[in-house]
Chain A
Amino acid sequence: MCALRLISNRTSQQALSNSDYTWDYEYYEYGPVSFEGLKAHKYSIVIGFWVGLAVFVIFMFFVLTLLTKTGAPHQDNAELSEKRFRMNSFVADFGRPLESERVFSHQMAEESQSLFHFCINEVDHMNKEKETQKGPSLESNTHFQEVPKSSGMFEEDLHCLTKFNIPNFVNTEQNSSLGEDDLLISEPPIILENKLVMQSSHRILD
């Protein structure tokens, strides 16, 4: 940081030599900088840097809000039918045919039934989960499929386990103690599982 030391002269206008603070390093000499014949404005780097930074932050914000707004309904349908397909493939005796035009309100009922089956076939679950949760890639198409897959896994596990520790991050407002919580007891499981993972993610982002 020798350069810093030399640049951090607190120069006052009148006295440039003795009363100034200079931590000098003899091997780092800066000669005078001449300001003759500048083509652009002398603070062009400063202005350019800050403008670039502001543009980048605003761009990032717009990308994030666009992510909010896109993700059209057909994509959600695709996610859910994908998930349904995977659930179906796990359970042996799940005889219901795939219907892509099934209404969303029936989706939850289906999930509860399939979840019940999952509790029975928990071992299969854990194996599949280990295979599929290898760390989702950031490429956008697989991304939207990976995300509900992993969240689907949570919901199944949540339903199966009777008691688990929620990280304190997922804390609810009324309760200040750690994880051993009563979230499971009073609420229906379907709404619970969505609420739980959504709570954690929204806790972070709100």
Chain B
Amino acid sequence: ENISDFSLNITDCTQVVVPEEVFFTVAAAGILENLLILIAVVRNKNLHLPMYFFICSLAISDMLGSLYKTLENIFIILCKMGYLTRQGDFEKKLDDAMDSMFILSLLGSIFSLLAIAADRYITIFYALRYHNIMTLRRALVILAIIWVFCAGSSVAIALFSYEAATVIPFTILFPLMMFFILCLYVHMFLLARSHAKKIASQPSTTVHHRTNMKGAITLTIFLGVFLCCWAPFVLHILLARFCPHNPYCACYMSIFHVNGTLIMCNAIINPMIFAFRSPELRSTFKKMFYCSR
């Protein structure tokens, strides 16, 4: 029997399959967590601040990413069960729409992280004029601009994804943004360090080496998590564009589902390192859960 068109050498790289239960659990956890954050920010008037709006924007992008993966899995299952055809026009349009949702999620994440970093930068370096620089209205305008831009780009990229020209700006944007965010945080970090040194020079205070170490750890976690969760997927896109027939590339592309799961893990981890660090948000959660009992 002709088993396949693909070569079935022993050295073949087969798709690494992530069990569906794991997929759905991770996706559901991501969606729930980010939804909670949105609800908390909406309900608590104290949290109607630019900083929390940017965190909400990040939560929305994470939700979109997880939602995309969930929907894709549902469609796979529907396809397997025969409710959807594979070649239909409707399915292709649906597929394009879902692709653009995913790219929207990625771009939204990057720009939200950038907005959070810029907001913190202004908080530190322009502390006294912060409330004049970053008014609520301006924050909402910035968010609107970001999301409109991301939506437009995602639709454009999804429509023209078969052109090589769309992949290159996409993959250049990613490290560029990361580098810029890193620079912002390093600058803030240096200021914190110099302040800690100045305080430590006073005879009455103790030396805060641990504080600086914690700062380094925090910064590394911020950027390391984002890199580790998104970079594998970005590399996948690059390889799929430029060397799909190369066996090494094909082996890398066989772990596609693991990369997708990593992106959903990012949706779970991001709230922990951004939103849950705020005591106000934590107390809002406690109130929400205890009041409902």
Stretch at the interface among B32-40, B123-131, B263-271: B123-131
Q: Which residues of A contact B127 (CB under 8 A)?
A: 154, 166-167, 170, 196-197, 200
B21: CB under 8 A from chain A? no
Task: Produce 1/0 per residue, A24-61, CB < 8 A to B.
Answer: 11011011111110101011111001000100110011
A38 to chain B, nearest CB (A): 6
Interface digits, A162-206 against B, CB 8 Å rule (1 contact, 0 not)? 001111111101001111000000000000001111101110111
The docked-state distance in angstroms from the alpha carbon of A12 to that of B286 is 45
CB contacts (< 8 Å) of B250 on chain A: these are: 33
- B216-231 CB mask vs A (1 if < 8 Å, else 0) is 1111100110011001
Indicate if A10 sits at the interface (CB-CB under 8 A). yes
B162 touches A27 (CB 8 A): yes
User: Does B28 reach chain A (CB closer than 8 Å)?
Assistant: no
Q: Is A23 an interface residue (CB 8 A)?
A: yes
CA of A61 to CA of B30, assembled, Å: 27
Chain B residues near A32: list those with CB within 8 A.
Answer: 5-7
Expressed in whole angstroms, the Cα–Cα distance for A104 and B198 within the complex equals 9
**Quick check: A71 and B124 within 8 Å, CB to CB?**
no
CA distance A87 to B232 in the complex (A): 51
- Also in contact, A23 and B189, with CB within 8 A (given A13-B14, A173-B279): no
B11, closest chain A residue (CB): A35
> Which one of B224, B227, B248 has the highest number of Cβ atoms from chain A below 10 Å of its Cβ?
B248
Q: Which residues of B are found within 8 Å of A133, using beta-carbon distances?
A: 125-126
CB distance from A28 to the nearest CB of B (A): 7
CA distance in complex: A13, B8 (Å): 10
The smallest beta-carbon distance between A141 and chain B, in angstroms, is 12
Closest to B249 in A: A45
CB pair A28 B125 closer than 8 Å: no
Would A43 and B251 count as touching, CB distance under 8 A?
yes
Known: A42-B248, A169-B120, A206-B215. 18 other contacts (CB 8 A): A2-B161, A11-B15, A16-B5, A17-B4, A23-B91, A38-B247, A42-B13, A45-B249, A57-B220, A57-B227, A61-B220, A138-B183, A147-B191, A167-B131, A168-B280, A200-B123, A204-B123, A206-B218
Contact call A68/B209, Cβ cutoff below 8 A: yes
The answer to the question of A7 belonging to the interface, with a C-beta cut-off of 8 Å to chain B, is yes
Complexed CA–CA distance, A76 and B193 (Å) = 11
Chain A interface residues toward B at CB < 8 A: 1-5, 7-11, 13, 16-17, 19, 21-25, 27-28, 30-36, 38, 40, 42-46, 49, 53, 56-57, 60-61, 64-65, 67-68, 71, 76, 79-80, 104-105, 107-108, 133, 136, 138, 143-144, 147-148, 150-151, 154, 157-158, 161, 164-171, 173, 176-179, 194-198, 200-202, 204-206
Distance from B53 Cβ to chain A, minimum over Cβ atoms (Å): 12
Instruction: Give the interface segment out of B107-115, B141-149, B237-245.
Output: B237-245
With an 8 A cutoff between CB atoms, is B43 at the interface? no
Instruction: Kindly state the separation between the CA atoms of A178 and B47 in the bound complex, as whole angstroms.
Output: 9
The listed residue (A53, A105, A151, A206) touching B227 by CB distance below 8 A is: A53
Which residues of B have CB within 8 Å of A202? 192, 195-196, 211, 215
Given A1-B158, A30-B245: A148 in contact with B194 (beta carbons within 8 A) = yes
* B203 proximal to A (CB < 8 A): yes
With contact pairs A42-B251, A194-B198, A197-B195 given, residues A61 and B217 touching in the complex (Cβ less than 8 Å) = yes
| Sample (6) of A-B pairs whose CB atoms are under 8 Å apart | A49-B252, A57-B228, A67-B193, A151-B195, A169-B123, A202-B211
Across-interface contacts of B12 in A (CB, < 8 A) = 35
In the complex, what distance in Å separates the CA atom of A121 from the CA atom of B5?
Answer: 83
Pairwise interchain contact B46-A136, C-beta atoms closer than 8 A: no
Q: Does B256 contact A (CB under 8 A)?
A: yes
Distance from B11 Cβ to chain A, minimum over Cβ atoms (Å): 5
Per the bound structure, the CA–CA distance linking A151 and B189 in Å amounts to 13
Contact partner of A35 (CB less than 8 A), chosen from B13, B131, B203, is B13
Given contacts A68-B213, A202-B215, contact A7 B196 (CB under 8 A): no
Residue of A nearest to B13 (CB): A42
Which residue of A17, A40, A43, A147 contacts B190 across the interface (Cβ within 8 Å)? A147
Contacts of A44 in B (CB 8 A): 248, 251
